[in-house]
Amino acid sequence: MKNSMLKEAESKMEKSVEKIVEEFSHMRTGRPSPSLLEEIKVDYYGVPTPVNQLATINVSEDRSLVIKPWEKNLLSVIEKAILASNLGLTPLNDGNVIRLNFPVPTTEQREKWVKMAKEIAEKGKIAIRNIRRDFIKEAKELQKEGEITEDDLKRFEEDIQKLTNKYVEEMDHQFEKKKKEIMEF
């Protein structure tokens, strides 16, 4: 029983880290990345559809993303969706493709992005600590009901604290990785 609770807690903590890593992948870092467009949806025959399902997206050597829709009539729709997004980029439509140029970010912009990444990582750490709290509460209930001993509870609390430390450390590692990516130029 104790092991199944630990496994479930670990699974939830792992998912928290994965969610934060996913959020990091959608953050702008000054370098072009097709994943930035994953959240942008356009109206495709009445269905909100992600841009990456309607076009090929490539990173060019001149620090830009090149978006080539499979249907030319989608150029203006994709352009409007990018303008309406909070990316802060101006699409250049040449009639065949859309280019998104990524200027070299200022130090101030990079510091702002690092601060945003830190806030995201903190959210993740809070989620992990909440998972620990909920499972300890559940274990205390089981101990009150006589299903586990006080020693089992103590061991469980120690084990779940080790798990919490491991995943909080992983969250810090992911933040440092993102920070390095943002700051390098």
Tens digits of residue pLDDT in 76-120: 888 888 888 877 778 888 888 888 888 888 889 889 989 999 999
CA–CA dist 181, 118 (Å, integer): 13
109-143 as b/e: b if 16+ CB within 10 A: bbeebbebbeebbeebbebbeebbeebbeebeebb
User: For residue 73, what is the DSSP state?
Assistant: G
Provide the token pair at 71: 């249907």
- Plot region of 46 (φ>0 → left; ψ -120 to 50 → alpha; else → beta): left
Please state, in angstroms and rounded to a whole number, the distance separating the CA atoms of residues 57 and 95.
16
Residue 28 pLDDT greater than 80, yes or no: no
Q: Whole-model pTM above 0.85? A: no
> Please, what are the domains in the chain?
1-27+106-184 (1.10.132.20), 34-101 (3.30.1360.40)
